[in-house]
Amino acid sequence: MPAPESANVATELRTAMGKLTRRVRHEDRIPLGQVAVLGTLDRDGAMTTSDLAADQRVRPQSMARAVGLLMEQGLVARRAHPTDGRKSLVELSPAGRDALDAERSRRAGWLAQAIEAELTAEEREVLARSAALMERLAAR
């Protein structure tokens, strides 16, 4: 059982991270689910719709609809699977990469402005160190 202090910090951190995440999402121009798919394709490269569904923990039918919407917008493209003619791979299109980059810049830009406007230099240093700690916790 964690110490009461750790449990309190965990609760406060979870609440603050949730609020910050929701606030940053206010800057979104692309729906969150679509950004998640574009981000996965950017990080991991082309994959099947089934693999995308497994990665995002959604049903393949739901992912097929999401991929269809992204294709209609020109943000992803399909190409033949190199070893299995029955399958196709979904990949980020140049327009999809541009849209994803713009979305990431918008989010990071808002957050950078908020950090500069709201935090002292000392608080910014603490926040920078905290980011590394959160990465460590996330990797556990």
Which CATH number belongs to the domain containing residue 86 in this structure?
A: 1.10.10.10
**Concatenated DSSP letters of the chain:** ---HHHHHHHHHHHHHHHHHHHHHHTT-SS-HHHHHHHHHHHHH--B-HHHHHHHHTS-HHHHHHHHHHHHHTTSEEEEE-SS-TT-EEEEE-HHHHHHHHHHHHHHHHHHHHHHHHH--HHHHHHHHHHHHHHHHHHH-
Q: Residue 96 sits in which domain range?
A: 4-139
Q: Retrieve residue 122's tokens.
A: 């000392």
pLDDT at 26: 79
Q: How confident is the model at residue 17 (pLDDT cuts 50, 70, 90)?
A: very high
For residues 61-75, give the mean pLDDT.
Answer: 96
pLDDT at 138: 87
Structural domain total, the chain: 1
pLDDT at 53: 96
Mean pLDDT of the residues in the chain: 92
Q: How confident is the model at residue 120 (pLDDT cuts 50, 70, 90)?
A: very high
Q: Retrieve residue 134's tokens.
A: 């959160």
Rounded CA-CA distance 95/92 in Å is: 8
